Structure 1
Amino acid sequence: MFQVGTKSIAILAAAALLIVGAVYLIAQGGGNPEDRAGAPAPSALEALAVGDMANFRALATPAAVPSVVFEGDEGETLTLAAFEGRLILLNLWATWCGPCREEMPALDRLQKAMGSERFEVVALSVDHRGHDLARRFLAENGIDHLGFYIDPTARANVTLRAFGLPTTLLIAPDGREIGRLVGPAHWDSADAVALIAAALDISAP
């Protein structure tokens, strides 16, 4: 029968501890300094996902945005290509969504403060019951700075994988999604303004 002496067991145990320790250090970033230096640093947007923007999730790699079709203020047919060249904050909302109603004034204030040829808040209503209901809500709540956009088919929800409302996508001037926030947020807060400003800097030509 093969036997292992006490000394051999001690040596094997020590070796096992060294291996476990090495794995732990590597997992914690304590391996080779050159390996740590080569690791990707958090993006500027990830670093700003704090406070009122804590639920914002930046994409490691910008993603193509599926085509969605909706209507503008005059009933014209639009797609997101109409906004190419601008950073856009695409907010999917509906009048029956309580959190959407609560955050809409903040989105309006963000558009007033930062809207420009380089940035626009695109609040896209997905109300099945149509234009009049959405228009009335905006008028009654003094939403004066947002354009009127509506998708009465609500297909945008599925197309954009927005399975809860509100969902807000941050889309770069080249039309690719760079992050999103699911749920309501204080879009006129200092945290939100800092996030949008950083995205504008990143997308500057």
Structure 2
Amino acid sequence: MSKLAMVLVGMLLAFSWPVSDAEPPQNFAVHEAPVPVPEISFEDGNGKPKTLADFHGKVVLLNVWATWCAPCRKEMPTLDRLQAKLGGPDFEVVALSMDRAGPDAVKMFYGEIGVTHLALNIDSSAKAMFTLGAVGLPMTLLIDRDGKEIGRLIGPAEWDAPDMVDFLRGRIAANPERK
């Protein structure tokens, strides 16, 4: 194969490959191929039962956290700003609290720090944390529109940092809605 033919094939592959150009931020482990996410259940702020299937069709950033977790508390404003920036029909930050004290504790915390863009989601049993294999909090999963895990980050992050936003935008664009 000639050098020109190899370059053209390379260009075709580059333009057809559904992957973001943005490198994953530090500590963000991306799977080679999306993997199934175990079923979890939780409640919204009104006590209505929810599952990840309720977000089917969106790219989801599932953040498992608790008000008693100092690093979680610190990153929560960055998740709120990320939801304000990218949230919509294609993407949602799902902040899932593991607080045994219930939704009132989370509501009070949201009020204290000024969270206005994140919905309240809670699993006061903390079963989701164990089902998802969390070795600590916070833990965040990036889930594609079909409900499969693209990757995860264990520990806190600056979710609204430019490199993180670029990476997530790339993943949203690389995972178009299927009609």
TM-score where L is the length of structure 1 = 0.76
CA shift digits 1:2-51 (9 cap, x unpaired): xxxxxxxxxxxxxxxxxxxxxxxxxxxxxxxxxxx9xxx9x9459512xx
In structure 1, C-alpha distance between the alignment counterparts of 2:112 and 2:86, rounded to whole Å? 23
User: In the aligned structure 2, how far is the partner of 1:112 from the partner of 1:199?
Assistant: 17
Whole-angstrom distance in 2 between the partners of 1:60 and 1:46: 15
Letter in 1 for 2:23: L
Q: Work out which of the residue numbers 18, 33, 39 in structure 2 matches 1:67.
A: 39
Rg comparison, structure with higher value: 1
Confirm whether residue 152 of structure 1 aligns to residue 127 of structure 2. Answer: no
Letter in 1 for 2:65: W
**Distance in 1 between the 2:46 and 2:29 partners?**
34
Q: Residues 118-129 of structure 1 correspond to what in structure 2 (within 5 A)?
A: 118-129=90-101
CA contact (8 A) 2:60 2:92 kept: yes
Partner of 2:23: 48
From 112, 137, 150, the counterpart of 1:165: 137
CA distance in 2, matches of 1:96, 1:44: 36
Matched residue type, 2:41: V
What residue ranges of structure 2 are gaps of 5+ in the alignment? 1-9
Aligned residues of 1:71 and 1:149 also touching (Cα < 8 A): yes
**Structure 2 CA distance for partners of 1:46 and 1:57, relative to 1, 3 Å:** farther
Choose which of 161, 170, 176 in structure 2 pairs with 1:189: 161
User: Match for residue 139 of structure 1?
Assistant: 111
Higher helix share: 1
Paired with 1:181 and 1:72, the residues of 2 have a C-alpha distance of 23
* Cα distance, 1:62 vs structure 2: 0.6
Provide the TM-score with structure 2 as the length reference: 0.87
| CA–CA separation in structure 2 for the residues paired with 1:109 and 1:88 | 15
- Aligned residue type for 1:48: E
1:96 alignment partner, one of 52, 68, 74: 68
Q: Give, as a single letter, the amino acid of the residue that structure 2 aligns with 1:102.
A: K
RMSD between aligned residues: 2.0
Paired amino acid for 1:168: T
One-letter code aligned to 2:94: V
Partner of 2:86: 114
Greater fraction of residues in strand: 2
**Contact 1:46/1:57, CA 8 A, preserved across alignment:** no
- The amino acid across from 1:101 in the alignment is R
Rounded to whole Å, the distance in 2 between the matches of 1:131 and 1:47 is 36
How many residues matched? 164
Once the two structures are TM-superposed, the CA of residue 61 in structure 1 deviates from its matched residue by 1.4
Q: Which runs of 5+ in 1 are unaligned?
A: 1-36
Give the drift of 1:69: 0.6
Bigger RCO (CA 8 Å, 6+ sep) = 2
Secondary structure of 2:145's match? coil
One-letter amino acid of the counterpart of residue 107, structure 2? R
SS of structure 1 residue aligned to 2:163: helix
8 Å CA contact 1:167, 1:182 repeated in 2: yes
